[in-house]
Structure 1
Amino acid sequence: MKKILFTCAFAFMAWYAQAQLGVKYDPTVQSTKSIQYFKPKGNLFVGDCIPFSKDGVYYYYWLLDSAHHKSLNGLGGHQWALSKSSDLKTWQQFPLVLKIDEPWEKSICTGSVVFYKGKYYAFYATRLLNDGKVNEQLSYAISKDGVNFEKQKPNPFYTSAPGYSKRDFRDPKVFVDEKTGEFHLFVSSWQENPVMKNNGGALVHLSSKDLKTWTVHEPILTGQPSTPECPDYFFWKGWYYLVYSDNSNTSYVKSRKPYGPWEAPRYQALNEDWSNVVKTAEFKNGRRIAAAWVPNRFESKDHNGEIFGGNSLFREVGQEPDGTLTTRFPEEMIPETSGAQNIKIVNDLQSTSPDNHSISINSPGGVGSAHVEDVPANCRITLEIEPIGLNEEFGLYLKSGARAEGGYRLNFSAANKTVKLGNTTIEGVDGLNKPIKVDIVIKDGIIDVDVDHRRTIVNRTYEQNGSFVWFYAKHGQVNFKSITVSPLKED
């Protein structure tokens, strides 16, 4: 009996110690419907995403965050969660697939997954403390099903590359050369002695055939103003793409050859201030679906900066003939609505409405406007906008008041090639002098906009909650057509 009691006590202590290492996560209470704008239940959040796909299944690995990166003395305490789907509509939720198992593991950081010869390989960085200093070192795990991973020894398997920071050495992007069987990693780091002191951000290039001995090559990317985080790398329709993030804002370069020379695109469609560290994965029928996350704001104030952790965000990626990427809403992931509601358009200044779904504004000497009342807090708004000749700007005020006070301005400027949403902007937006289709989703403070299925912009909002939507045009003539307002179904 004493032996049994001792065994039980030991097992309980081992369980209790394990329970203290990582945050508790219950997959059975999470949403299995479309996970656009998903946040796990409770005081938990989505962090960096690791999308992957195989055999028509989209594996959405993501960092489980609690306390906005403050867990384990601010080192993150992150672990990998998994949601997966074969149609992007219904999702399976799984227990944590890469957990914190040891006291020295302070965070299971971002990485990537590759399938090779019947096995899934997950490469990631482990954040730890060495002699009181924070280090990031590389680890990997293997799985037969992409769900149950076993960490490999030695763990970590690679501590640092000569000439690069030990503090910043994370987010490995893995791919395998099918001809040689060689594994390649692009690792986010900082050069210790860059030519330009403030431009030491680099992606270290490592390769190995046996996952034991690693060769350090010339970096694939250098000269960045910060550590280029969460890299992505893929070949798609004749182009190689190298994607990386600077302080969470995502950029990419492209090339016809595997390792460059790289060239910048005409515009950066992946770069949205409130779409953090975008990474992509292929999907059925030659499609490509990007995953990111919308951060929360400090103290839940509209003009405060971001804090780590928030809600999931997905984009469908398109490609123009010159290799430039576009973004749009994935059709399957647009939240369901309960059908279009009846709206009444009120014409205010230099505007007319030929029907209940159209507004024509002609205001060459100032600003013309019209509005709609009783717009639900969570809704989808769709419309077509037709500029007639030149104008200074046009757009909408969302979640606004009875006299267009407050709210969030959605502003289009053809001359500047910009779209602004509240206090965030996307640039290099072509075609704003022509008819465009606009799709707007407002859900729990997230405002997300699809501009003509070519560009997207999102913002996190808190403080303005009016039920008016205003339409306006300045110094020009603009028609707003096919306006629909549809309440979102409750989750």
Structure 2
Amino acid sequence: MSHWRPSSGFVGDVIPFSHAGRIWLFYLLDERPEDPTAGASGMPWALVSTTDFVQYTDHGVVLPAGDRDAVDFDCYTGSVVADGSQLHLFYTGHNPRRGDANGSYQVVCHAISDGDPTRWTKLPELSFGAPAGLVPQDWRDPFVYRTAADQPWQMILAARYADAPDRRCGVVARLTSTDLEQWTIAEPLWEPHRFVTQECPDVFQWGDWWYLVYSEFTDAFQTRYRIARGPDGPWLAPGRDTVDGRAFYAAKSVEHEGRRFFIGWIPTKQGDSDAGRWEWAGDLAVLEAHQEDDGTLAFGLPAEVVATYSDVQQVKLDVEPALDRYAAWVGEVAPERCLITLTVDVEAGTQAFGLLLHASADGEEATVVRLEPQRNRIVLDRWPRGRTGPAQWQVDGDVPYVVELERACPLPPGRHAVQILLDGTTGQAIVDNRVALTFRRYELGPGHLGLFVTDGAVDLVELQVARPAG
């Protein structure tokens, strides 16, 4: 299984930590009780570890939720750092029964370990809430780091100004400390005047560039990033400022053995239906980042994940130009778990091309991964689409792709490579090892694989399907 999920429950925000040769993936365990209003138990942190994002060790719950009256009845997102031999875990404490008429409060909480990431001792006396001027209901996702070994610790948080326009009052608040216990408010790291808030902030240095990663739900549910030449900014938007789309949320990064990985979660949908609304939490997914000269990040699948799909079969299709029409070529049924690799040479002026997944034998019903050179984007579409009524014209033709599953993607004429990792109802499409579009599709259909072109021509260089070895 490429997209990991615990045997019971779902993966929420992931907090990655590199330690002792392994990547430790702490995550918020969403157990989804049948009656969520009962409030019998809160949300804990669970842990899974890996060295390759292929084989996982499940360590279960390692930071249990607090009792009914505790400030950390719910243990929400945070970070883990090492200070010598001791580990420090900072997290968001929340209790729906603590707050005021405006909602329940959030506080920063602290736990320590002697070096074992599976064993933690909470330090409730070190918990603290938002200072004056910031909304006490939004004081979450503490991320702790140093800009250099001889510099003070810094903590940034997702916060909001109390007296500011609601939609634009989000701020990345900042505090400093010399001992990881006493914290002093400092100048904010970033005030964009753009979002409700910037969740799950993450800062790291890579070569000559500094990165600020965050997730937002104001313009779109996406993980974005900004770049700067120094740790204090100014933070600038690169040409491609998103990590992925709607279906890869709250991604945080980790450096491990000289490589940078981003780990997020693929949300489920209500009723396990393509027509259902996105839900919070789902399956774990990973992308590996690569740095371009101007600081922009490109994203692809880790080589270790790709290598597990070693049972390769070539797909033979006789592809012809479709200069003024739509044409599709459909092959055999592809397995539910596989890695599809497409390499094509695209002629100038081609309107669209792509792959049909889970398709009917005639290609009319499918999950459609469509690349549009005229718009320089990739989208996920599906047929049949929804309907507004029984009449012929009452089809969702005004919804040209699945809402929120669209990415900007450079597609000049010439050669392009597309990888699609399918893992049951989840999938990840990677274009040129630069642009990622993660998705979920429940109604899988008969399962044929096809290629299509609209108003143009592509030269099919290679199309292959690889199954997991063994």
* Distance across 2 between alignment mates of 1:431 and 1:344: 24
Label 1:338 to 1:452 Cα distance change in 2 as closer, same or farther (>3 A). closer
Q: Are positions 1:97 and 2:72 aligned together?
A: no
2:238/2:295 contact within 8 Å kept: yes
Correspondence for 1:67: 32
Correspondence for 1:280: 253
* Distance across 2 between alignment mates of 1:55 and 1:480: 45
* SS in structure 2 of the partner of residue 427 of structure 1: strand
* SS in structure 2 of the partner of residue 333 of structure 1: helix
Label 1:251 to 1:320 Cα distance change in 2 as closer, same or farther (>3 A). same
Out of 73, 91, 98, the position equivalent to 1:130 is 98
Label 1:199 to 1:388 Cα distance change in 2 as closer, same or farther (>3 A). same
Structure 1 residue 459 displacement after superposition: 0.8
1:418 partner amino acid:
R
* Distance across 2 between alignment mates of 1:428 and 1:333: 25
2:247/2:405 contact within 8 Å kept: no
Per-residue CA distance 1:452-488 (angstroms, 9 max, x = gap): 1111111111123222222111111112222112334
* Distance across 1 between alignment mates of 2:47 and 2:167: 37
* Distance across 2 between alignment mates of 1:342 and 1:431: 25
Per-residue CA distance 1:161-218 (angstroms, 9 max, x = gap): 2111111111001113545552211111211112x44201111111122344322122
Structure 1 residue 56 displacement after superposition: 3.6
Correspondence for 2:289: 317
* Distance across 2 between alignment mates of 1:192 and 1:69: 35
Structure 1 residue 388 displacement after superposition: 2.1
Label 1:477 to 1:250 Cα distance change in 2 as closer, same or farther (>3 A). same
* Distance across 2 between alignment mates of 1:193 and 1:74: 32
Q: Are positions 1:115 and 2:88 aligned together?
A: no
* Distance across 2 between alignment mates of 1:68 and 1:463: 25
- Correspondences of 1:16-27 after superposition (within 5 Å): none
Structure 1 residue 329 displacement after superposition: 0.4
Correspondence for 1:36: 2
Q: Are positions 1:235 and 2:205 aligned together?
A: yes
Q: CA RMSD in A?
A: 2.3
Structure 1 residue 75 displacement after superposition: 10
* Distance across 1 between alignment mates of 2:294 and 2:314: 43
1:319/1:325 contact within 8 Å kept: yes
* Distance across 2 between alignment mates of 1:178 and 1:109: 27
* Distance across 2 between alignment mates of 1:388 and 1:177: 47
Q: TM-score, normalised by structure 1?
A: 0.84
* Distance across 2 between alignment mates of 1:70 and 1:200: 33
* Distance across 1 between alignment mates of 2:150 and 2:15: 25
Label 1:316 to 1:235 Cα distance change in 2 as closer, same or farther (>3 A). same
Correspondence for 1:78: 43
* SS in structure 2 of the partner of residue 383 of structure 1: strand
* SS in structure 1 of the partner of residue 304 of structure 2: helix
Correspondence for 2:467: 487
1:292 partner amino acid:
G
* Distance across 1 between alignment mates of 2:47 and 2:269: 25
Label 1:74 to 1:460 Cα distance change in 2 as closer, same or farther (>3 A). farther
Q: Are positions 1:161 and 2:131 aligned together?
A: yes
1:162 partner amino acid:
A
* Distance across 2 between alignment mates of 1:63 and 1:152: 19
Structure 1 residue 385 displacement after superposition: 1.5
* Distance across 2 between alignment mates of 1:470 and 1:243: 36
Out of 405, 410, 413, the position equivalent to 2:364 is 405
* Distance across 1 between alignment mates of 2:45 and 2:34: 14
Q: Are positions 1:52 and 2:17 aligned together?
A: yes
* Distance across 1 between alignment mates of 2:276 and 2:210: 37
1:84 partner amino acid:
S
1:376 partner amino acid:
P
- Correspondences of 1:208-357 after superposition (within 5 Å): 208-222=177-191, 223-247=193-217, 248-284=221-257, 286-334=258-306, 336-337=308-309, 339-341=311-313, 343=315, 345=317, 353=318
2:167 partner amino acid:
N
* Distance across 2 between alignment mates of 1:300 and 1:436: 33
Out of 325, 334, 344, the position equivalent to 1:385 is 344
Identical aligned residues as a percent:
26
1:37 partner amino acid:
H
Structure 1 residue 102 displacement after superposition: 2.6
* SS in structure 1 of the partner of residue 428 of structure 2: strand
* SS in structure 2 of the partner of residue 332 of structure 1: helix
Label 1:256 to 1:76 Cα distance change in 2 as closer, same or farther (>3 A). farther
Structure 1 residue 489 displacement after superposition: 5.9
* Distance across 2 between alignment mates of 1:169 and 1:100: 18
* Distance across 1 between alignment mates of 2:281 and 2:299: 22
1:171/1:230 contact within 8 Å kept: yes
- Comparing 235-244 with 368-377, greater Cα deviation is found at 368-377
- Comparing 90-99 with 133-142, greater Cα deviation is found at 90-99
Structure 1 residue 272 displacement after superposition: 1.4
* Distance across 2 between alignment mates of 1:122 and 1:69: 30
1:379/1:442 contact within 8 Å kept: yes
* Distance across 1 between alignment mates of 2:40 and 2:376: 40
Structure 1 residue 54 displacement after superposition: 3.1
Structure with greater helix share of residues: 1
Q: Are positions 1:455 and 2:414 aligned together?
A: no
- Comparing 425-434 with 45-54, greater Cα deviation is found at 425-434
Gaps of 5+ in 2: 382-401
* SS in structure 2 of the partner of residue 390 of structure 1: coil
Correspondence for 1:8: none
Structure 1 residue 74 displacement after superposition: 6.9
* SS in structure 2 of the partner of residue 299 of structure 1: helix
Per-residue CA distance 1:415-442 (angstroms, 9 max, x = gap): 2110012314443312442211111111
* Distance across 2 between alignment mates of 1:387 and 1:76: 55
Label 1:461 to 1:326 Cα distance change in 2 as closer, same or farther (>3 A). same
- Correspondences of 1:417-456 after superposition (within 5 Å): 417-422=376-381, 423=402, 424-456=404-436
* Distance across 2 between alignment mates of 1:239 and 1:112: 22
How many residue pairs get aligned? The number is 439
Label 1:75 to 1:409 Cα distance change in 2 as closer, same or farther (>3 A). farther
2:121 partner amino acid:
E
* Distance across 2 between alignment mates of 1:107 and 1:72: 14
